[in-house]
Amino acid sequence: MLERLICAVFGHRYVVERVLNHGARKVGCTRCGKHWGMHDGTRSFVPWDGELEALYAPGGILAQASGDVPPNA
């Protein structure tokens, strides 16, 4: 709870958690634990949810489309 308040006042501490393809990645906050999907082409930054996870999961539609990016360990 305190972490969310600190993020609301001072901002998040963003880190890239997973590179999904050359223009998209999953980012998260090391302080409050929230996660977002970020896409450069559309300049979008949306909350990470089950739908995004399913799209980029191994065997998902977008995971297959980005086969040129090595998977993260």
pLDDT of residue 60: 79
Residue with more model confidence, 46 or 63: 46
pLDDT of residue 1: 73
pLDDT above 70 covers what percent of the chain?
85
pLDDT of residue 26: 95
* DSSP H or E segment with residue 67: none
The residue length of the chain stands at 73
Q: What is the pTM of this model?
A: 0.74
pLDDT of residue 73: 46
Nearest-angstrom CA–CA distance, 47 and 36:
4
